[in-house]
Copies of this chain bind each other. A is one copy, B any other.
Amino acid sequence: MQLVSSQKMFNGWQQRYRHQSEVNQCEMTFSVYVPFRVAQGHKVPVVYCLSGLTCSDENFSTKAGAQQYAAQLGLMLVMPDTSPRGEGVADDAAYDLGQGAGFYVNATAAPWAAHYRMYDYIVSELPALIEAHFQVTKERAIMGHSMGGHGALMIALRNTDRYSSVSAFAPIVNPMDVPWGQKAFAAYLGEDSKAWAQYDACHCVNHATKRIPILIDQGSADDFYPSQLQPEKFVTAAKVAGLPVRYNMRPEYDHSYYFIASFVESHLSFHAEHLGL
């Protein structure tokens, strides 16, 4: 694991690391925010922050304004990239497929299967790396935006033993049923939609083994609402499955990081509460 940069922020450290990913078979870059509490000798829990289409590890880092709350609450933030990358990695000219658009699945169809294993990367490889190299506990929460909101919900629901809570801003909740998800799943998983449901949060609610707390915020002025984003569908499915969901419709907010910045404090407080901080 190679340190790319380290910058002081809110008395802690904003850092980037590069490492060889075994599951993705390429070099991956991620960002972390290490709060001051670590320098004081404490182990801290981790919140994984998954970004949306076109993003790298730097969008959430530079625009969400989350670090000040992580500093106050004593949380480490981990901001992964959204796909494998590099010259040998399959790509597509469109913004919603290929590099920058991994959709947090393990691809099974050519040419994607060789590198696109973001599900295993986020669920297993990256946490193992983080927990081996940083002063963190094994307590985790996960959150995300848009495609990253899909990733966070789907991953948390399939791994309720690994996360204390999950939250999402403007998540894709039913990828099988919207253009972004249908295009990506057909490419990564093949045309047979039977393999798709395991990666669809509206289906995953039925397989949650614990009542994991869920928080969702959606802006009413979001250009992708409701064509790509139908949080209400998820809220209904989660309630039917007996899962606790707090859902906030935010009037006039859009899909941007200005929306995220406006409410990120409430998301980190929510995770801190369920992490027992």
Contacts and interface: CB of A to CB of B under 8 A. Distances in A.
Interface of A: 7-11, 14, 62-63, 65, 67-68, 219, 221, 250, 252-254, 256-259, 261-262
Nearest to A258: B9
| Among all A-B residue pairs, the 10 with the closest Cβ atoms | A9-B258, A65-B65, A8-B252, A7-B258, A8-B253, A10-B262, A14-B258, A62-B63, A9-B262, A7-B254
A257 B8 contact: no
Task: State the number of copies, please.
Answer: 2
Contacts of A62: 62-63, 257
A62 to B, nearest CB: 5
Contacts of A253: 7-8
A261 B70 CA distance: 14
B7 A256 contact: yes
A87 to B, nearest CB: 27
Given A7-B254, A8-B252, A8-B253, A67 B261 contact: yes
22 contacts: A7-B253, A7-B254, A7-B256, A8-B221, A8-B252, A8-B254, A8-B258, A8-B262, A9-B259, A9-B261, A9-B262, A10-B261, A10-B262, A11-B262, A14-B258, A62-B62, A62-B257, A63-B63, A65-B65, A65-B261, A68-B261, A68-B262
A66 to B, nearest CB: 10
Contact of A219 (B8, B10, B67, B262): B8
A6 to B, nearest CB: 9
Contacts of A259: 7-9
